Amino acid sequence: MTDIAIVDYGMGNLRSVHKALEHVAPTVSTTVTSDPDIVRKASRVVVPGQGAMRNCIDELETRGLREAVIEAAKHKPFLGICLGLQMLFEESEEGNVKGLNILPGKVVRFPASAMTNADGQKLKVPHMGWNQVYQAIKHPLWEGIAADARFYFVHSYYVATPDTALIAAQSHYPFPFTCAVAKDNIFAVQFHPEKSQLAGLTLLSNFAKWTPHF
């Protein structure tokens, strides 16, 4: 049986995620799959992704993966990466599309009017590159990672949630924004751990052995 299923819905850097998980957990069975049955039977599920939210939701539907992903997010250790974070929420400004409605909140674009740094210089969108992640809670997936470690980001949208208890970490660009959320068996991040060197590999290693209590 597959221990970790990486959901393939045609979007995202699946090979990098797969190789990173194989590196940190070589004795664990890790499979990239678009088969809903394999996703349902896996012990843990990772949903990576990059690109447009509407395409993401459409591809989940087309491949019959939508319900399998929702079930995984409710019942087993679940790691969302980038779009895998954003899809968990109610809706997105990107294409005005409905998300999976698992967590409360909305995905919003970095507002052009706010995108200047302290020196008045214009900041680029998408937010791309290394940035510090400030942990907001203690969590097994943060084990061994500095409370202000740097991770790699590529995104134009971020999650705004009314439920502050969900916020596992924030970053700044140029204002604080939520970059990781956690609830029960769900942990999801806006940054790319598979591209984030030691800190990212540590997070993936922690996920591979995480047994949430909920």
Q: Which of 18, 56, 94, 194 is catalytic?
A: 194
Q: Is 143 a catalytic residue?
A: no
Instruction: Name 178's bridge partners.
Output: 159, 170
Cα within 13 Å of Cα(189), Cβ side: 27
Phi, psi (5° rounding) for residue 3?
-85, -50
Phi, psi (5° rounding) for residue 46?
-120, 130
| CB contact at 8 A, 84 and 188 | yes
Q: Is 82 a catalytic residue?
A: yes
Q: Is 192 a catalytic residue?
A: yes
Separation in Å, CA 79 to CA 37, 85, 115, 128, 185: 18, 8, 29, 21, 9
| CB contact at 8 A, 57 and 30 | no
Q: Which of 59, 82, 94, 127 is catalytic?
A: 82
Single out the residue of 177, 184, 189 nearest to residue 213, CA to CA. Answer: 184
Distance CA 65, CA 74 (A): 14
Contacts of 119 (CB under 8 A, 6+ apart): none
Q: Which residues are catalytic?
A: 82, 192, 194
